[in-house]
Amino acid sequence: MAGRKATFFHLSERGGLIMQTLHDNPTIITYGTFDLFHVGHIRLLRRLSALGKRLIVGCSTDEFNEGKGKRTAIPYHHRVEILQSCRYVSKVIPENSWDQKRRDIVKYKVGLFAMGSDWAGKFDELNDLCDVIYLPRTQDVSTTELKELIQRMRVDKVA
């Protein structure tokens, strides 16, 4: 809808509440590993897709994740297929470097960069190119916790 504005509240790195009015109907971009796809991921993508025209997701490649010190359970091409099958996602691109964000924002004419609140403040320097917001992270679910749960289930099964 032309001229649609959204007033948004999000968390600063110090946990402060910031009110922000977003430009209307933006292309939105977010990045992540999205390993063992779970409700925290889908809630983020659903909320982001409601804020704009299209949602682009930068999916971390396996090699990039090694650089983050993360070993993924699900290989990159499966994580891409899952994201591409998600109704909230318009396009999936590879994330293979920390510094590609600026290029992507310009290339895809992004109006809104968004991440979960565990990243609050980390990408504020992008706000010369587009709006930057951080959405509250879904509590009590994470890929790490799922991996630990699966490991405990395997141990219990063996015992």
Interface ranges with ligand C2G (CB under 6 A):
30-34, 40-41, 44, 60, 95, 115-116, 118-119, 137-138, 141-143
Q: Name which of 34 and 76 has its Cβ closer to ligand C2G.
A: 34
Least separation in angstroms between residue 32's CB and ligand C2G is 3
109 is catalytic: no
101 is catalytic: no
What is the token pair recorded at 11? 């968390």
Q: Which of 70, 101, 109, 147 is catalytic?
A: 70
The closest residue (CB) to ligand C2G is: 116
37: left (phi over 0), alpha (psi -120 to 50) or beta: beta
What is the token pair recorded at 147? 């991996």
CA dihedral 64, 100, 34, 70 (to 10 degrees): 30
- 86: Cβ–Cβ under 8 A, 6 or more apart, which residues? 42, 45
Least separation in angstroms between residue 144's CB and ligand C2G is 9
Q: Name which of 24 and 136 has its Cβ closer to ligand C2G.
A: 136
**What's the rounded Cα separation, in Å, for the pair 39 and 120?**
20
- Catalytic residue set: 68, 70
